[in-house]
Amino acid sequence: MASDEVKWEKYDLQMTESYLRYFLNFKKILDIGAYKGKRVKLLRENGIDAIGVDLNQSNKYVIKADAKKLPFEKNSFECVILSHIIEHLTFSDLKKVISEAYRVLKNKGILFIATPVPKDVWDDCSHVRPYTFKAIKQLLEQPNYIGESWRFKVTRKEYKVRANEILRGIFYHIGLFGFYKRFIVPLQNILKLGLIEIVVLAEAKK
């Protein structure tokens, strides 16, 4: 289990680095389920006022708190990150977490969700249920359907692919790494080859 935690911590940092240019658009970010706060540390090192919350951790980067009752005023953050969190929650708890994320987000603030593709969810015994992009979009944009009142508009979705280290290395050494990133990775997305993660960005409408 410890090795799995290290693996996902490393992957989460890689994901954060890949989206860092995007995160730099925000002055204040909340990371829900921040664990030991490595993502928060990286964001702070890049000039972002970031803080994490976690149910079981507390340090200079992370406040020990329940995401279903966040210790922040409404309209406090420009971005809230839920990376590999929603698959660990019951649907009842997820609704409460989304509601709290909406409360602390500013108008036009962004909810950033990342979750494993459904086929990979059951590889981890701590996962409760999978979420497809369609289900996440319905959850965020049709709250009345489930008795909630938040207002989000999905603005972007992506599928992240598992890097093919051999193929990537070949393109890098022959000086065509830009071609690999620009054409091969999108082709993997289109053909849904090696998918590992769904990323959804949604704007709060207040």
| 114-165: pLDDT as tens digits | 998 887 787 788 899 999 999 999 999 999 999 999 999 999 887 665 545 5
Report the mean per-residue pLDDT for the chain. Answer: 85
pLDDT tens-digit series, residues 50-109: 999 999 999 999 999 999 999 999 999 999 999 999 999 999 999 999 999 999 999 999
Q: Which of 70, 133, 128, 56 has its CA nearest to residue 99?
A: 70
**Helical segments of 90-184, H only:** 91-104, 118-121, 133-141, 165-173, 177-179
Domain parsing of the chain, residue ranges: 2-162+196-204
Provide the pLDDT confidence category of residue 1 given band limits of 50, 70 and 90: very low
Residue 174 Rama label (left phi>0; alpha psi -120 to 50; beta) = alpha
At position 108, the amino acid (one-letter code) is K
Percent over 90 (pLDDT), the chain: 62
* pTM: predicted TM-score of the whole model, two decimal places: 0.81
Q: Given this model, what pLDDT does residue 66 score?
A: 97
Task: Measure Cα distances from 123 to 93, 94, 114, 127, 183 in Å.
Answer: 21, 20, 17, 8, 30
What's the rounded Cα separation, in Å, for the pair 43 and 23? Answer: 8
pLDDT of residue 2: 46
Q: Which two tokens stand for residue 173?
A: 């050494």
Residue type, 109: G
Cα–Cα distance, 203 to 78 (Å, whole number): 10
Model pLDDT, residue 53: 98
Tens of pLDDT along 151-169?
A: 999 998 876 655 455 555 5
CATH number of 2-162+196-204: 3.40.50.150
